């Protein structure tokens, strides 16, 4: 475990090129980025600026064409697929714009899912899932199906699923994009609480109101970092 303030994520010259019909599209060009343990970082920028590509590389869903990626001091840019799946499962917690709960599984089973991929014992899983649901205030809905919940509630369950595995970092992709304003605020408050409790969070958003919740925001444009700014609002 890294100490607070230590570099948890380090990107060095990360470039991502897509080849389509003999045209090279540079989705990311030479990104240098460091996220320290305990930070709350937002990534902002207009559509097509490379936010999603960056997030997918950070989350090991995709690998960079060039450049180094150190996750907790371990080079992860060129891991084989099965090892990447292992890292995603243990070190990263995802929160998606469209919640991405699995419709056929109950709230409890959804939160449990990443833990089952670790081969964790049932008793331990139960305890962790209950704790995570308690943290997001959804313990009373453990047996419901996602379709029986509102959007805001579904996103809270998704947050519980992300934190249940005690990952190194939470990656959130427009977590409020599909929510009405009130539910959106509630989810942002939940993330703020998690951060206060020590979680490292990296969030993609194009809503400046929510970007301000983070301590630091990174602006991307055409695949490059154009601005980094400390957000003071959150330190109060």
**Contacting residues toward another protein, per CB under 8 A:** 52, 55-56, 59, 61-62, 81-82, 85-90, 94, 96-98, 100, 102-103, 113-114, 117-118, 141, 144, 147-151, 161, 173-174, 177-178, 180-181
Which residues, including other chains, have CB under 8 Å from residue 25's CB and lie 6 or more apart?
A: 17, 18, 19
At its nearest, how many Å lie between another protein and the CB of residue 118?
8
Residue placing its CB nearer to another protein in the complex, 62 or 215 = 62
Main-chain phi, psi angles of 65, to 5 degrees: -70, -40
Of 38 and 48, the one with the shorter C-beta distance to another protein is 48
- What single-letter DSSP state applies at residue 1? -
CB nearer to another protein: pick between 29 and 178: 178
Nearest distance from C-beta of residue 86 to another protein, angstroms: 7
- Cβ-in-10-Å burial (0-12, 13-18, 19+) of 233 comes to exposed
- Least Å distance, CB 88 to another protein, is 4
The pairing of strands 224-230 and 74-75 is unpaired
Residue with tokens 């060009």, as numbered in its chain:
29
β-strand partners of 16:
28
* Nearer to another protein (CB atom), residue 141 or residue 213: 141
CB of 152 vs another protein, minimal distance in Å: 10
Cα separation of the two ends of the chain: 28
């Amino acid at each position: 475990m890294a100490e607070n303030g230590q570099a948890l994520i380090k990107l060095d010259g990360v470039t991502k090129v897509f080849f389509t019909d003999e045209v090279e599209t540079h989705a990311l060009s030479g990104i240098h980025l460091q996220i320290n343990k305990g930070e709350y970082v937002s990534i902002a920028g207009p559509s097509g600026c490379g936010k999603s590509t960056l997030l997918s590389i950070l989350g090991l869903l995709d690998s960079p064409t060039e450049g180094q990626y150190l996750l907790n001091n371990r080079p992860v840019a060129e891991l084989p697929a099965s090892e990447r799946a292992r890292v995603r499962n243990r070190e990263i917690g995802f929160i998606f714009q469209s919640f991405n709960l699995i419709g056929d599984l109950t709230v409890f089973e959804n939160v449990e899912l990443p833990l089952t991929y670790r081969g964790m014992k049932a008793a331990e899983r139960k305890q962790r899932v209950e704790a995570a649901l308690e943290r997001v205030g959804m313990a009373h809905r453990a047996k419901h199906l996602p379709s029986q919940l509102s959007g805001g509630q579904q996103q809270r369950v998704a947050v519980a699923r992300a934190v249940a595995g005690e990952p190194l970092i939470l990656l959130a992709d427009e977590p409020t994009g599909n929510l009405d304003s009130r539910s959106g605020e509630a989810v942002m408050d939940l993330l703020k609480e998690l951060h206060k409790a020590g979680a490292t969070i990296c969030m993609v958003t194009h809503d400046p109101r929510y970007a301000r919740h983070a301590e630091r925001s990174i602006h991307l444009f055409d695949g490059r970092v154009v601005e980094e700014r400390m957000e003071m609002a959150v330190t109060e």
